[in-house]
Amino acid sequence: MNTKIKKYCELCGSTFLLQNHHIFFSSLRKKSDKYDECQITLCWNCHLSEKGVHQNKELSLKVKRMAQNRMEEIYGREWFLKEFYKNYLDF
Ligand SMILES: [Zn+2]
Ligand SMILES: [Zn+2]
């Protein structure tokens, strides 16, 4: 994989303390490291604050949906479900 920090937070557009976030973790983390689509550039507020993805389930789901959408555009849904087991767009 290739960690590319973008110039803006991909959720809010801020440039404040930008960091790379791995969208999928635990058992999916290793697999997802292969795909740029599984990483997202986030500012500190969207990443590590109490409102950020690590604390906020809704936001965490939102970025998973973004990743799924991006990957489905490239690889298709069947591939995504095989690789990631779950359809995050359905709940
Ligand atoms: Zn942000
Ligand atoms: Zn993170």
* Average confidence (pLDDT) over 62-69: 97
pLDDT tops 60 at residue 2: no
69 CA → ligand 2 middle, Å: 19
Residue 7 lies in a domain: no
With a pLDDT cut of 70, the percent of the chain lying above it is 96
59, 53 Cβ separation under 8 angstroms: yes
pLDDT-derived band at 72 (thresholds 50, 70, 90) equals very high
* Average confidence (pLDDT) over 76-86: 96
pLDDT-derived band at 90 (thresholds 50, 70, 90) equals confident
Domain count, the chain: 1
Whose tokens are 């937070």? That residue is: 9
48 CA → ligand 2 middle, Å: 7
Instruction: Encode 57-83 in three state secondary structure.
Output: HHHHHHHHHHHHHHHHHHHCHHHHHHH
63, 37 Cβ separation under 8 angstroms: no
pLDDT of residue 58: 96
90 CA → ligand 2 middle, Å: 23
Residue 6 lies in a domain: no
Total-model pTM: 0.91
* Average confidence (pLDDT) over 50-69: 97
Task: Starting from the CA of residue 42, give the closest ligand.
Answer: 1
Residue 64 structural domain: 19-86
Residue 5 lies in a domain: no
